[in-house]
Amino acid sequence: MKENNKKIALSGIQPTGTPHIGNYFGAMKQFVEMQDEFNLHVFVAEYHAMTTVQDKKTLKENIHNLILDYLAIGLDPEKVTLYRQSDIPELTELTWMFNCLVTVPWLERAHAFKDKSERGIEATVGLFNYPVLMAADILLPNSQIVPVGKDQIQHVEMAREIARKFNNTYGNTFSEPEEHVVESTQTVPGTDGQKMSKSYGNTIPLFGTDAEIKKAIMGIVTDSKLPEEPKNPDECNVFALHRLITPEPELSEIKKGYEDGGLGYGDSKKMLLKNYLAFITPMRAKRKYYEDNPGIVRQILDEGRTKIQAIGREKMKEVREKVGL
């Protein structure tokens, strides 16, 4: 893994289920684009996933599959430090130290906790404490940049506030991270028109089988306009996905078919399916390579763990001295 003087960027995804194309276009694609510009750290956020996944077999499978997915989308082990959250025990130690600085009313401000509680997710201490663990994820390896969607900006702000409070209490220890929001990243609509989300059951699996992908795409909700009727592409869930997947000049031809009339939703979905399968084929091949070579995957994770553990141990040595342990 090559060292450089680039800024450190960090992000992670929870292994809570099968990644979908909303995860890819909303976050994972950014990781690939950032790996040349930044010294990028990417981790599997299994501690965070434990707030919702509480079955051993399921969690282990999800972790394994997410690691393969990371590699399949194009993360280069020569450029990216890839690791598992649970391989860094210093994270939970630092989280406890941060817990002793933050207050309950301050944590109650978190939008994500309110949103999940209102949707019926059990309000465990882990879910409530999520922003503190996220702050430890960010601050322990000295991250400077955190790529997030607009709905996650608050968590980076909270990490910044925790860093500031620790520094004010014990002396300058942590740098204050900045969020990196890609404005061009759109909310990816699900098959029902809402934001694509596992919790809504409206996803198109990133690495599903042909049959699973076909079922999802052909099930996208549309209005009842006939093929010959003109349609507004900006109001169509199918066309919103075409914008992400279908290349030019075909994209413009499909748009014209909508606006002039003559292109039905059924045919539009078939075109989307064809283009999505072509888009995902190279990633599938790469994923199969890593799946068939577990030794290479283990080596990548070993190297990532070794690097982050060294950083974490050094930082925690400084932290322990400053708090008086």
255 falls within a domain: yes
Q: Are 148 and 181 in contact (CB under 8 A)?
A: yes
Tell me the residue range of the domain where 126 lies: 8-187+294-323
Confirm whether 150 is domain-assigned. Answer: yes
- Please indicate, yes or no, if residue 181 is contained in any of the structural domains: yes
- What average pLDDT does the segment 244-257 reach? 96
Catalytic option among 29, 79, 195, 214: 195
Question: Is 307 in the active site?
Answer: no
Residue 27: the pLDDT is 85
- Digit-coded pLDDT (tens) for 75-85: 999 999 999 99
For residue 2, the model assigns a pLDDT of: 45
Question: In terms of domains, do 265 and 301 share one?
Answer: no
Residue 157 in domain: yes
Same domain, 171 and 125: yes
Looking at the fold, whether 15 and 109 belong to one and the same domain comes out as yes
Q: Mind listing the pLDDT tens digit for each residue in 122-155?
A: 778 888 999 999 999 999 999 999 998 777 888 8
For residue 16, being part of any structural domain is answered with yes
The least confident of 21-35, 181-195, 267-281 is 181-195
| Catalytic residue (one of 116, 231, 255, 269) | 116
Q: What is the pLDDT of residue 1?
A: 45
176/229 same-domain check: no
Residue 227 CB contacts under 8 Å (≥ 6 apart), including other chains: 261, 262, 263, 264, 265, 266, 267
Q: Nearest to residue 307, comparing CAs of 45, 83, 40? A: 83
The reported pLDDT for the residue numbered 190 is 94
Establish whether 165 is a catalytic residue.
no
| pLDDT-above-90 percentage for the chain | 80
Our answer to whether residue 322 is catalytic in this structure is no
56 and 176 assigned to the same domain: yes
Residues 27, 92, single domain; the answer is yes
* Residues 23 and 123 reside in one and the same domain: yes
Contact 191, 241 (CB under 8 A): no
Digit-coded pLDDT (tens) for 271-280: 999 999 999 9
- Give residue 203's pLDDT: 95
Q: If 0-12 CB within 10 Å is exposed, 13-18 middle and 19+ buried, where does residue 96 land? A: exposed
Instruction: Round to whole Å and give the CA distance between 325 and 319.
Output: 9
| Shared-domain flag, residues 253 and 305 | no
Residues 268 and 310 in one domain: no
Q: What is the CATH number of the domain that holds 16?
A: 3.40.50.620
38 within a domain of the structure (yes/no): yes
What integer is the mean pLDDT of 222-246? 95
**36 and 77: one domain?**
yes
**H or E element, residue 179:** strand 178-180
**Residue 82: strand pairing partners:** 42
- Selecting among 6, 198, 214, 307, the annotated active-site residue is 198
Q: 221 pLDDT exceeds 50?
A: yes
Is 203 part of any domain?
no
* pLDDT for the residue numbered 123: 78
In total, how many domains does the chain have? 2
Q: What pLDDT sits at residue 107?
A: 92
Tell whether 15 and 47 lie within a shared domain: yes
Determine, yes or no, domain membership for 193: no
Residue 14 near residue 69, CB atoms below 8 Å: no
Q: Across the chain, what does the average pLDDT equal?
A: 92
- Does 181 lie in the same domain as 232? no
The answer to which of 114-118, 152-156, 178-182, 269-273 has the lowest mean pLDDT is 114-118
Percentage above 70 pLDDT, the chain: 96
Tell me the CATH number at 233.
1.10.240.10
Report pLDDT digits (tens) over 274-315.
Answer: 999 999 999 999 999 999 999 999 999 999 999 999 999 999
